[in-house]
Amino acid sequence: MAESPPRLRVWYRPMLAREAHEAHRAATTLELLFDLCFVVAVSRAGAALHHALAENHVAHGVFNYLCVFFAIWWAWLQFTWFASAYDIDDVAYRLAVLVQIAGGLVIAAGVARAFEGDFAVVVTGYVVMRLAGVTQWLRAARGDPKRRRTALRYVLGIAALQVAWIARPLLPTPWLVPSFLGLTLAELAVPVWAEHAGHTTWNAHHIAERYGCFTLIVLGETVVGATSAIQEGLEEGHNIAGLVSLAAAGLVIVFSMWWLYFDRPGHRRLTSFRTAVVWGYGHYFIFASAAAVGAGMEVAVDYDTHKGHLAHLPAGLAIPLPVAIYLISTWLLHIGPSNECRPIAIGFPVAAGLVLAAAFSPAPVHITAAIVAGLVALMVAVTREHPVEP
């Protein structure tokens, strides 16, 4: 029996746009590898936030966490939306993604220094990723004449901003924070400006799946961080029953967060470019808050084992605050205030308010777990009469 010829990998081919309504469009193994490499950056950001909170540097730690997480999230977002429209999977494309992954790992390596106020390494990794993205957009401009203006706008916007990021450290100290905020807004504006020249052919089902994958990543990092903190507490001989109870409450919170996010299909919200921008950008709050829950669990363990330096209220807010932000963000992006099922539409903001109030209680983590589990139970009960369409 003759052997089948080996599969040949194409080195380079025109970067044609993929079909926006392509059936069975799923995440590729390269995209999943990209996500896994970003686990490192998410983990470092969560660990740095925990360290800052444990040392009672709350405002400083939260601000730097939000800045660092923006760099992580924005680099991931840019790759994800480009790949949804132009993933042709030739050798040149794979090598460019390899460079982007390397840039992501450089970002991860610079997280700790960024929390000390030195963003040089994070910016370096960010620039590496974005310049690799420029080469991809140049290929798209050449291979997809219909959207050439769009691709060239991306090239111009990204390249100009990378120069600005490199030059930013030269500014006087009082201008560093305002310049960061200004460049952040400019980054958010580039896709909106570029897509006005002609929309790229992103796939709604594929985008929703990719965002779901990243949600799972940040929830997984929450579990890893909490497990490590509880294991350390057990090894040091602290109250076993209390730590086990805390672990159980944390698991209920993470499981409920997963349930609430994935109960409604995300692709149904991606009906136009405008809604896609709101949905895609709004996920920053979902991702950042979900990852912060892991740091909050570590703070809770520190507080129970008398290792941290936080007072009761700041320590009590470490989990309820990010959980409340997660609930509100999921409500706005996946459920909608005008949802046809009123108990669900009302349940999310009510639960978020109750979660924030739990921070003032003697057992904020356990009460938060009970509230989010109750919200899940509400969704299960009411969706029996209001089934979710796929």
How many helices, marked H, and strands, marked E, lie in the chain? 14, 0
Residue 307 in this model has a pLDDT that exceeds 80: no
pLDDT given for residue 4 in this prediction: 40
The ranges assigned to domains in the chain are: 29-195, 204-382
d(CA 249, CA 80): 33
pTM: 0.90
Task: State CA 145 to chain mean position distance.
Answer: 32
Provide the token pair at 17.
């746009």
Mean pLDDT of 370-387: 84
Q: What is the CATH number of domain 204-382?
A: 1.20.1410
Residue 5 pLDDT class (50, 70, 90 cuts): very low
Mean pLDDT, all residues of the chain: 87
Q: CA quadruple 355, 360, 364, 367: dihedral positive or negative?
A: negative
d(CA 286, CA 322): 9
d(CA 170, CA 176): 9
d(CA 206, CA 41): 23
CB neighbour burial string for 342-376, b if at least 16 within 10 angstroms, e if fewer: eebeebbbebbebbbebbeeeebbbbbbbbbbebb
DSSP state of 264: S
Residue 384 in this model has a pLDDT that exceeds 50: yes
Task: State CA 279 to chain mean position distance.
Answer: 12
Residue 339 pLDDT class (50, 70, 90 cuts): low
**Considering only CA atoms, which of 208, 182, 205 is closest in space to residue 261?**
208
Is the distance from CB of 73 to CB of 126 less than 8 angstroms? no
Provide the token pair at 298.
């570590």
Helix 29-54 with 204-235: angle, nearest 10 deg: 40
pLDDT given for residue 36 in this prediction: 87
Residue 7's contacts (CB-CB under 8 Å, 6 or more residues apart) are none
Half-sphere exposure of 310 (CA within 13 A, CB side): 28
The backbone torsions φ and ψ at residue 236, rounded to the nearest 5 degrees and listed phi first, read: -85, 0
The backbone torsions φ and ψ at residue 307, rounded to the nearest 5 degrees and listed phi first, read: -100, -25
pLDDT in tens, 15-55: 888 888 888 888 899 999 999 888 888 989 988 998 888 88
Helix 342-358 with 364-382: angle, nearest 10 deg: 180
3-state secondary structure of 368: helix
Residue 1 in this model has a pLDDT that exceeds 70: no
pLDDT in tens, 148-183: 999 999 999 999 999 999 999 888 988 988 999 999
Is the distance from CB of 270 to CB of 208 less than 8 angstroms? yes
pLDDT in tens, 233-249: 776 666 677 788 888 89
Residue 9 pLDDT class (50, 70, 90 cuts): low
d(CA 340, CA 337): 9
**Considering only CA atoms, which of 186, 215, 180 is closest in space to residue 64?**
180
